[in-house]
Chains A and B, each alone.
Chain A
Amino acid sequence: MFDYTFQWRQAYRHLPRMLEGALVTLEIAVLSLVIGITIAVLLAVARDSKSIWLRAPATAWVEVARNTPALFQIYMAHFGLGSFGIYLSPYVALLAGIAFNNAGYLCETFRGALRAIPQTQTRAGRSLGMGQAQTFRLILMPQMFRISFLPTTNQMVWAILMTSLGVTVGMATDLTGITQNLNARTFRTFELFAMAAVLYYLIAKAVMLAARLIAWRLFRY
C-alpha cells in the first residue's frame, strides 16, 4: 500500500541547483518589496489626498490588488499585457505582479499607521516652517514605518512565498521553477519539494532577520 522509497541522496545532489534558484527567489522577493513599499507610500498619500485625480487611481489600485487573486495579477502581467503586444518576461511579470500586490496591501497598512500618529505632530512640523511634503518625509514617514513594522513583516513573508506562483507563467529559474524541472526529470517529488519547503523557510527567516536588524538600527527610540 505504501511503496514509495525515499531516495534522499539522489535529491541532495541537486541542492546546488536549488540554491541557485533560492537566490533568484530571494532577489525577486526583495526587489518586489522595495518597489512595493515605495509605491505603497505614494499610494497611501494619494488615497488621503484632496484631489480626486490622485485618490481615484490609488483607490482602484488598492481595490484590485487586494480583492483579486495574486495568481490572476501575475497572469495579467504576463498573458494579459501580452495580448496588447506588451511582452514581459516571466521574471519581470512575476516581479511586477508581486510588487503590484505588495503595494496594494502595504498602502493600507501604512495608511493605518499614519492614522495612529497624532495630528499634532503635523501641526508641530508645519509650525516650524516645514512644508507639507517636508513634514511628511521628516516627521510622519519615520513614525509610520515604525508603527507598521510588524504588519509589514507579514507582507514580506507573503511576498517571498508568492514568488512560487511564477511557475504558472513559465518562470524556470526560481526555486519552484527549478524544483519543478528537477521533479520532471527525476520523479523524486517528495524529497525535492520537501527540500524546497525548507529553503523557502530559510529564505523567509533570513529576510525576517534582516528586517529585524534594520528595525533595530532605525528605531532606537
Chain B
Amino acid sequence: MIEIEKVYKSFGKLEVLKGVDLTVARGEVVSIIGGSGSGKSTLLTCINGLEPIQSGHIRIDGTDVHARSTDLNKLRRKVGIVFQQFNAFPHLSVLDNVTLAPRKVLGMSRAEAEEIAVRQLSHVGLADKLKVYPSRLSGGQQQRMAIARALAMSPQYMLFDEVTSALDPLLVGEVLDTLKMLAEEGMTMICVTHEMTFARDVSQRVAFFHQGILAEIGPPEQIFGAPQHLETQKFLSNVR
C-alpha cells in the first residue's frame, strides 16, 4: 500500500505540492490527470524518494520513504518508475539495459538475469531486439524497453510518468497496450497521464491535480461523467 499524507514539496520558493493526500491499495490502478505544472510528475518522484519533500509522509508498505533511516536503494527495488523521456542507457544493448540492475543490485548471475530479461522483453514485444543498441529503436520500442527494465526488478508497485508524452501518435498505442496488459495482470500502478481514454478504461480511480492540490478523486465514471470540482470540469472540457 502506498500512503501519501499531507505532502508539501517546493523547489526553492515555488510550492509544487500543497498538502496532498492519497492512498493506493495493492492491485489498484490510479491515474493522475491535470494541467502542466500541477505537480503530478513531482509527486511520482517524491514517492520513490528521488526528490525530498518538505513535510508530510509517504509510506510504502509502512516504510516512511523520507525517513533518514530508510535505505532508499533497497526501497526502490519495490517501486519501479518509467519516465517520459525513456532514459535508455545508450552504451548498453537492450538485453544489458534490462539485466544491469538485476545483476548489480540484486546480485543475480548473468544467466539468471538474462532469463528474466528475455521473459520481460518478450512480454513487451522486444524479443527480437536483444542485441540491438537503444539508438536503433523507435521511441515506442525504447519506452517498452524501459518498462521491461523496471519490471525485471520484480517491483510491487509501478509509477508511470507521462510515458507516452514524448511519443509519436502512432507509437502511443503500443505503449498503452503494454500498460493495459500490466494492469490486467494485477500490478499496482500510479499513472500520470494525458491519455484520457486510457485513464478511463484502465484505472479504478482517477485523480485530478490542480495547482499542487488533489482537487478531486473518484472512479472514472464520476470524474469523466460527472466531475464535481469546477476546475475538473474546466480541464476536461478543454481536453476533449
Contacts and interface: CB of A to CB of B under 8 A. Distances in A.
Interface of A: 118, 120-121, 123-131, 134, 138-139, 142-143, 146, 219-221
Contact of B83 (A120, A131, A138, A220): A120
A10 to B, nearest CB: 53
Interface string B142-171: 000010011001000000000000000000
16 contacts: A120-B85, A120-B87, A123-B87, A126-B50, A127-B48, A127-B81, A127-B150, A128-B101, A128-B149, A131-B73, A134-B104, A138-B100, A139-B89, A143-B90, A221-B133, A221-B134
Contacts of A143: 90-91
A117 to B, nearest CB: 9
Contacts of B76: 126-129
B105 interface: yes
Nearest to A219: B91
B133 A123 contact: no
A128 B133 CA distance: 19
B68 interface: no
Interface in B9-52: 45, 48, 50
Interface of B: 45, 48, 50, 73-74, 76-77, 80-81, 83, 85, 87, 89-92, 100-101, 104-106, 133-135, 146, 149-150, 153
Given A142-B91, A143-B90, A221-B135, A128 B153 contact: yes
Going nearest first, the 4 A-B pairs with the smallest beta carbon separation are A124-B87, A128-B101, A221-B133, A129-B105
Contacts of B100: 128, 138
A137 to B, nearest CB: 9
Nearest to A145: B91
A130 B50 CA distance: 12
A130 B73 contact: yes
A126 B48 CA distance: 10
A143 B76 CA distance: 24
A165 to B, nearest CB: 36
B91 A123 contact: no
A218 to B, nearest CB: 9
Contacts of A220: 133
A129 B87 contact: no
B105 A130 contact: yes
A123 B159 CA distance: 14
Contacts of B133: 220-221
B101 A130 contact: yes
B90 A221 contact: yes
A123 B82 CA distance: 10
A131 B75 CA distance: 12
B68 to A, nearest CB: 16
B79 to A, nearest CB: 8
Contacts of A118: 85, 87
A129 B89 contact: no
B169 to A, nearest CB: 23
A138 B87 contact: no
A121 B87 contact: yes
A123 B89 contact: no
A216 to B, nearest CB: 14
A33 B87 CA distance: 32
Contact of A138 (B80, B104, B134): B104
A119 to B, nearest CB: 10
Contacts of A125: 89
A120 B50 CA distance: 11
Given A120-B85, A123-B83, 4 more contacts: A123-B50, A129-B74, A131-B73, A221-B90
Contacts of A131: 73
A173 B158 CA distance: 64
Contact of B91 (A124, A126, A128, A221): A221
Contacts of A219: 91
Contacts of A124: 83, 87, 89, 146
Contacts of A129: 73-74, 76-77, 101, 105-106, 153
A118 B90 CA distance: 11
Given A120-B83, A124-B83, A220-B133, A130 B89 contact: no
